[in-house]
Structure 1
């Protein structure tokens, strides 16, 4: 096997491991590395070569979700009108928040505080981008900002895991309805 093929396999293994960990976190806060390796279809050695410990794996899942959430803002604005782009982005935030809850519950306090601190500004920037686009077209209220909206969204974190599925999206809809101008086409 050539070196580029091995690198491609290694990258695919890493991606499968991250996807398996993300799926496991969506189901439970109790993530076991053996279970993740099995779900990803890799051996424990492959998992540990990519992620030396559970914390490194969970932190990478979290960072990857933040990066995808940030990139989604511009991609959605390229595809949709601002208010619809914001709606789709907020749906992604719900998925991100569910994984974030699992990561933060599974990590030591110092590790999750560091992750959360480094993700706040990029997420706020992505939301600002969406809000500014909507304000420019008149579809988003002019008197809101990303900082305030993130404070509202933070209250979703108070939901218990067992009520997340039934309550998170309806509550996010309330936030969205408050952001969109009532006369805007949604």
Structure 2
């Protein structure tokens, strides 16, 4: 995964020095998260983490790219926000379990592979919420974005036995075609 890490580090180092924009869908989605500790998976340079911390969530941000997390830490410091960060390869079989448990897990614009789902369920407290918003196949058709990073219709409806689907739908925002899932940990 070093090639993936290098690619994302390069992208974050080439970005302008201003903070990332808040995803258009996040304010409404945040109202569906359980208050308390939130794990932002694939957090990048903090588009969601920064906003969630400003709303009073206790945020831990995880990403493969050190450069993205360094940007996030800088932006958090400028706003006097406390956000924990962890640089992890989410494609590996270990990692997020060492971070503790969370009331909510947020996954934005990232498609977890099959190995990550049991880990996500394990760190989510019983009754906790997992929210995922990421690209779907319509986004691939319209933009040519890589199909392997896009969800097929209903692809995650039975992804992990401990997670119950509370809501599923599609939306268009920020110039992207996305699927949105809300799960509850049945534990």
TM-score, normalised on structure 2?
0.29
Which protein has the bigger strand share?
Answer: 2
Higher alpha-carbon Rg = 1
Which protein has the bigger helix share?
Answer: 1
TM-score, normalised on structure 1?
0.29
Q: Which has the higher contact order (CA 8 A, sep 6+)?
A: 1
